Amino acid sequence: VQLQASGGGLVQLGGSLRLSCTINGFALDYYAFGWFRQAPGKEREGVSCIANAKDGRTFYPNSAKGRFTISRDNSKNTVYLQMNELEVEDTATYFCATCQVVMGSLFGMDYWGKGTQVTVSS
């Protein structure tokens, strides 16, 4: 089981990035996958979750709603996070993981990948 995030980098305030999470070793269709981030000195925060292939619903916390879009391409074993209108506060290491939404809160589950750094400069 392996999740590998990529696509991070340095971007200017207001810019965009697309992160990719390549997933191997899963029956991908049956799992929900999400993106989480952690900035230095801060707690880890979930920013998106997409349900399994049959369901397809997405979830975003207020911090990401309207700016971030999660999608999945099961044929490519990949989950994406399109991030627009980036803010300095979005600077963090971003991780992909299996996820679950419970009563409006987003949780990472059993499987996590290594992160990719996103830095937004002003």
Give pLDDT tens digits for 27-38: 888 999 999 999
pLDDT value at residue 120: 98
Q: What would the mean pLDDT of 53-78 be, rounded to a whole number? A: 93
pLDDT value at residue 115: 95
**More confident position, 99 or 28:** 99
**More confident position, 74 or 19:** 19
Block residue for tokens 């300095």: 88
pLDDT value at residue 25: 87
* Distances, alpha carbon 108 to alpha carbons 11, 59, 60, in Å: 26, 13, 13
Q: φ and ψ at 91, to 5 degrees?
A: -60, 125
Concatenate the DSSP letters of all residues of 63-80 into one string. TTTTTEEEEEEGGGTEEE
Whether 26 has a pLDDT exceeding 90, the answer reads no
pLDDT value at residue 17: 98
pLDDT bin (cut points 50, 70, 90) of residue 56 is confident
Whether 53 has a pLDDT exceeding 90, the answer reads no
Q: What would the mean pLDDT of 101-111 be, rounded to a whole number? A: 92
Whether 88 has a pLDDT exceeding 90, the answer reads yes
